[in-house]
Every structure is written in C-alpha cells, then in structure tokens.
C-alpha cells in the first residue's frame, strides 16, 4: 500500500532525455554521412586524375591523383567555409565531401569536353544519315 506506483518523469527530465537521444542520432547521421561521402569523393576524383596523367608514371602519377583531390577539396572548402560563416554552421560536415565530389565531376566534364568519345568494345558503329541516336534505334530493330 505504500507503493506510489510508477514515477513519471518531470518535463525537465524528459527534455534532457530527448536532448541526449537527439545528440546520439545527430552523431550517427554525421558518421554515416562521412562514411558515404568520403568514398564518393575519392571515386569521383579518379576520372579527373586519369584525364590529367598524360603519360606520367610512378610518383608523378600519384602526385596527379593527390593534386586532383586537393584541388576539388580546396574548392569545396571555400564553398563550405562561406556557407558556414553566413549560416553559423559547423565547417566539418559530410556536405564538404559531397560538394568536393560534385566539383570533381564538373571538373572532369569540363576538362574532357570536346574529346572524341571512344565506343565500348563490341558495340558496332553504324552511321545513319539522321544521326547516332537513330543508328542505335536501327540496331535495336534488327
């Protein structure tokens, strides 16, 4: 009879528990964000560096990969730094590496613009008077 039953937490205690759970969720989301965006950035730098190698071998080829990565990360750091200052946010964020990956892809597309497209092996090339898309449709009809 002296058992008061379950103790209900006060609003302050509930708020503290919510803040603790929220901090854990934010930390997990940031960790997952970094685990996804850093490899994405690394993979997106590879084509840009290969486009810039120009017959270099050994340490010089590694230097090209590092320079391409440093360039894209530097541009992304400037963009993220301006955003962080304007919005009063943290500088280190998965968005930094996502922006760096986008910069790498855009840099590769600008650098390789105008280059001749090399078809994949095994794909027959058939010219058509109405353009390459119609030529592909002609191949599908057969």
User: Which run of H or of E encompasses 67?
Assistant: helix 59-87
For the full predicted model, state whether its pTM sits above 0.75. Answer: no
Read off the pLDDT of residues 24-73 as tens digits, 9 standing for 90 and up: 888 899 999 999 999 999 999 888 888 777 777 788 888 888 888 899 99
Q: What is the distance between the alpha carbons of residues 22 and 14, in angstroms, rounded to a whole number?
A: 12
- Per-residue pLDDT at 36: 94
- Per-residue pLDDT at 124: 57
Read off the pLDDT of residues 71-124 as tens digits, 9 standing for 90 and up: 999 999 999 999 999 999 888 889 999 999 999 999 888 887 777 766 656 555
């Amino acid at each position: 009879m002296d058992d008061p039953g379950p103790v209900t937490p006060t609003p302050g205690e509930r708020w503290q528990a919510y803040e603790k759970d929220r901090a854990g969720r934010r930390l997990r989301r940031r960790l997952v964000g970094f685990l996804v965006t850093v490899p994405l950035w690394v993979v997106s730098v590879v084509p840009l560096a290969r486009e810039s190698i120009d017959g270099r071998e050994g340490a010089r080829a590694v230097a090209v990969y590092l320079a391409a990565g440093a360039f894209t990360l530097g541009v992304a750091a400037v963009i993220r730094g301006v955003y962080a200052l304007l919005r009063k946010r943290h500088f280190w964020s998965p968005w930094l590496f996502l922006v760096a990956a986008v910069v790498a892809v855009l840099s590769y597309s600008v650098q390789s613009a105008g280059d001749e497209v090399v078809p994949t092996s095994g794909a027959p090339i058939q010219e058509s008077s109405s353009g390459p898309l119609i030529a592909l449709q002609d191949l599908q009809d057969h």
